[in-house]
Amino acid sequence: MNKKEKSWAEGVTAVILGTMQDGGLPHIGCRCAHCQAAEAQPQYAACLAIVDGRQTPPGVYLLDATPDIKHQLNLLADVLGPHSTRPNRLRQLDAIFLTHAHMGHIGGLPQLGPEAMAVQDLPVYAAPLLIDLLQEARVWRPMVNGLALRPLHPHQPISLAPNLTITPIPVPHRDEWGVGTFAFHVQGPGKSLLYLPDIDAWTLWAETAVLDTVDYALVDASFWSNDELGGRTAVAHPLVPDTLVRFAHIPGQLVLTHLNHTNPLLNIESVSYMQTCRAGVQIARLGQDFPL
Ligand SMILES: [Zn+2]
Ligand SMILES: [Zn+2]
Ligand SMILES: [Zn+2]
């Protein structure tokens, strides 16, 4: 176990396992400079792990199941440890919490099925209508049979361990199936965190004040500007400069994540990157951790 992972095995820690919009980097079919540069070093879709090192073995929880889940689990190898009967395999996670039904957030679920990890009774928490959607998908039935699907209800905390809760908060976000989208509020023994990878607009949400109350707010930073869309109509996500202005009173709490492959923040030499750093706001990094 290296020094970094050792610290994850003490207390409660949130660990960033992915920072990109649903399609990851490179983005399929894209030959932009960011995507070409990332061929040798791909970046994963947005994901957060909560590791509770107070438990033996550590409690390990994943927020969202991304298409990159197999690589993301490997980053947790030392805290997961070996499977009880298959020593070459990792122990399965203690639970997964799903924010919503889009590809980057549920696209890793098939990896849990009989063709791959073959999990058994893995607790997966989701909105009740998203659970219905998963159960209705016949093509996913063998995988769903290995899950213990459990409903999430707005503002009802779920206790993971003493002094560790996760609470779903509804957010407005493109919703093709009418199943809803959640942000997650995680309260640890010492600190709190908000995980909000997707939202259509800050102005459509009545609960922005929750950002003032947390120690860390990991928020949707998909796009810097509408110019990234190559003339297509504006995608419903807040633009980063607007987010920086709206939350200018709490820059130290903000951590930007869920970046689209077009976002200039991917280039550390860009004016946007410098402007964000100068505002005192962090841009999420793979492996970055937050003690809770
Ligand atoms: Zn997303
Ligand atoms: Zn690209
Ligand atoms: Zn989405």
Q: Can you give the CATH number for the domain in which 22 is found? A: 3.60.15.10
Q: CB neighbours (10 Å) of residue 283?
A: 21
Q: Which ligand is nearest to the CA of 171?
A: 3
How far is residue 169's CA from residue 285's CA, in Å, rounded to a whole number?
A: 24
Residue 292 lies in a domain: no
Residue 121 lies in a domain: yes
CA of 84 to the centre of ligand 1 (A): 34
Domain that holds residue 154: 3-284
CA of 37 to the centre of ligand 2 (A): 9
Residue 289 lies in a domain: no
Which H/E stretch holds residue 164? strand 164-170
Residue 290 lies in a domain: no
CA of 110 to the centre of ligand 3 (A): 18
The tally of domains found in the chain comes to 1
CA of 48 to the centre of ligand 1 (A): 13
The pLDDT profile of the chain, 292 residues, written as one tens digit per residue, is 455 555 787 899 999 999 999 999 999 999 999 999 999 999 999 999 999 999 999 999 999 999 999 999 999 999 999 999 988 999 999 999 999 999 999 999 999 999 999 999 999 999 999 999 999 999 999 999 999 999 999 999 999 999 999 999 999 999 999 999 999 999 999 999 999 999 999 999 999 999 999 999 999 999 999 888 877 777 789 999 999 999 999 999 999 999 999 999 999 999 999 999 999 999 999 999 999 9
Tens of pLDDT along 91-124?
999 999 999 999 999 999 999 999 999 999 999 9
| Per-residue model confidence (pLDDT) at position 1 | 46
DSSP state of 20: B
Q: Which ligand is nearest to the CA of 34?
A: 2
pTM of the full predicted structure?
Answer: 0.96
Residue 185 lies in a domain: yes
Burial of 88 (0-12, 13-18, 19+ CB in 10 A): exposed
Q: Which ligand is nearest to the CA of 179?
A: 3
CA of 22 to the centre of ligand 2 (A): 13
Residue 96 lies in a domain: yes
CA of 18 to the centre of ligand 1 (A): 11
| Per-residue model confidence (pLDDT) at position 162 | 96
Tens of pLDDT along 57-80?
999 999 999 999 999 999 999 999
